[in-house]
Amino acid sequence: MQHTIVKHEVKIEAVGEYAVATPKTLDATLGDTVQFGTSQKAFRVVFKPWPFKTPAPPANEVTTSEPLTLEREGSFEFLCYVTPNGATKELEYKLGSGGNGNVTRP
């Protein structure tokens, strides 16, 4: 079984009434791997456009910590949502805020 080495890890947490990604900006190279995760109950990330090697799921949305390989060169945006432990309401980014990435050739 081959193990994927994760180059970029993004943590999504609840801060006050909002979801916050750390880091918020990804500067990556084609072929790099990215993994999203949280210590909270659940998370989801929506990508605009889909930058990964795997086929895009419905709504370009990720809800697991499965490592993903960047395949599309250029800029992309990612919007994060998190459901805090013990809560039922999902939190989102503060209006006008979101994460972004840029993928370049090696």
Fold of 8-104: Immunoglobulin-like (2.60.40)
pLDDT tens for the 106 residues of the chain, in order:
454 566 999 999 999 999 999 999 999 999 999 999 999 999 999 999 999 999 999 999 999 999 999 999 999 999 999 999 999 999 998 876 789 999 999 8
Domain ranges of the chain: 8-104
Q: What pLDDT does residue 1 have?
A: 46
**Predicted TM-score (pTM) of this structure:** 0.90
Rounded-to-integer distance, Cα 1 and Cα 4, Å: 10
